[in-house]
């Protein structure tokens, strides 16, 4: 397949998580829009890949020499019974294979919350560790690092019972090589141990991704009202400086869920704003 188009004036160090423009574009359209503005790194979601087919998605990546900074997402390990746990493990192995087909830097893990009907968060965290342990040999064989993304505690019940970098790194230390963290500022900016744990992650070479957006005040929807960088209260430059001091100099990946604002704007405006804020704010 012929390349979609040559990038004009590549924007080094910036990746676009395709959730940021998911309401405007499918994956192919998003790639074309990114390349038009010089963005050559992306992070797609699995549903976006499935919508056009894995083979086609892989061709688009290869033909346009794109860097895939991560595939979103694996995880969701806690389940009510062994059948559910096995299904989650099988799906995560498929996600690893998809990440390998896209030559992704990592598979991002949103680990899952409480098992259905449960109030036992400790058990949920045990299921997360067990689930990652079960898929880690497959990931190592495929050459795909696994990146645990700790989510804000507001998501502990339904999306991620791993809520701090410290918790994520404890799992990494337990399981060994091939697993690290995705540091998403939206989820960890508030943590009083953040800088200490960034240093810990860097010392162990476990920083695999850095996601950026902003926390708005007020936030009107805890899932779908993320801010564009510079519109909120997160110390983006301070966090980035700590991440670089810890030894990670990889891309900053913009990931914005914004049902009432950015998802309603033209995609090219969203991308151009991402570039401008990346250069001036981040």
- Percent of the chain clearing pLDDT 90 (strictly above): 96
Q: Does 89 fall in a domain?
A: yes
Tens digit of each residue's pLDDT (9 = 90 or more) over 41-50:
999 999 999 9
Tokens coding 110: 């949103």
Tokens coding 210: 């850095």
Q: Is 11 exposed, middle or buried (0-12, 13-18, 19+ CB in 10 A)?
A: buried
Give the rounded distance of the alpha carbon of 195 from its chain centre: 20
Name the phi and psi angles at 270, rounded to 5. -60, -50
Helix (H) or strand (E) holding 184: strand 179-184
Q: Are 120 and 80 in contact (CB under 8 A)?
A: no
CB contact burial 168-202 (16+ within 10 A = b; e otherwise):
bbebbeeeeebbbbbbbbbbbbebeebbebbebbb
For position 1, what pLDDT does the model report?
43
Q: Does 113 fall in a domain?
A: yes
Q: Does 186 fall in a domain?
A: yes
CATH number for the domain that contains residue 144: 3.20.20.150
Q: Does 32 fall in a domain?
A: yes
Q: What gap in Å lies between CA 277 and CA 164, rounded to an integer?
A: 26
Q: What gap in Å lies between CA 174 and CA 169, rounded to an integer?
A: 8
Tokens coding 156: 């502990």
Domain range enclosing 142: 14-280
Backbone torsion region of residue 53, taken as left when φ is above 0, otherwise alpha when ψ lies between -120 and 50, otherwise beta: left
What pTM did the predictor assign?
Answer: 0.97
Q: Does 4 fall in a domain?
A: no
Question: What domain count does the chain have?
Answer: 1
Q: Does 1 fall in a domain?
A: no
Over residues 192-196, mean pLDDT: 98
Q: Does 33 fall in a domain?
A: yes
Tens digit of each residue's pLDDT (9 = 90 or more) over 53-79:
999 999 999 999 999 999 999 999 999
Q: Does 173 fall in a domain?
A: yes
């Amino acid at each position: 397949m012929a390349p979609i188009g040559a990038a004009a004036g590549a924007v080094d160090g910036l990746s676009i998580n395709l959730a940021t423009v998911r309401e405007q574009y499918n994956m192919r359209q998003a790639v074309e829009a990114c390349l038009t503005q010089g963005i050559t790194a992306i992070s797609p979601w699995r549903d976006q890949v499935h919508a056009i087919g894995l083979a086609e998605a892989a061709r688009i990546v290869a033909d346009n020499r794109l860097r895939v900074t991560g595939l979103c997402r694996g995880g969701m390990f806690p389940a009510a019974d062994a059948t559910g746990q096995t299904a989650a493990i099988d799906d995560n192995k498929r996600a690893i294979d998809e990440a390998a087909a896209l030559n992704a830097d990592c598979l991002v893990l949103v680990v899952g919350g409480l098992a259905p009907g449960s109030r036992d968060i400790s058990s949920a965290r045990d299921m997360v560790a067990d689930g990652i342990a079960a898929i880690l040999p497959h990931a190592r064989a495929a050459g795909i690092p696994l990146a645990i993304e700790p989510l804000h505690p507001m998501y502990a019940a339904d999306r991620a019972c791993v809520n701090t970098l410290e918790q994520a790194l404890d799992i990494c230390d337990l399981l060994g090589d091939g697993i690290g963290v995705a540091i998403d500022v939206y989820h960890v900016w508030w943590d009083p141990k953040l800088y200490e744990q960034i240093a810990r992650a860097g010392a162990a070479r476990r920083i695999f991704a850095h996601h950026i957006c902003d926390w708005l005040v007020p936030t009107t929807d805890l899932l779908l009202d993320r801010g564009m960088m510079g519109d909120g209260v997160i110390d983006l430059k301070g966090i980035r400086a700590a991440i670089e001091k810890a030894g990670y100099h990889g891309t900053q990946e913009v990931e914005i869920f914004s049902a009432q604002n950015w998802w309603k704007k033209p995609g090219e405006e969203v991308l151009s704003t991402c570039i401008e804020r990346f250069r001036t704010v981040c």
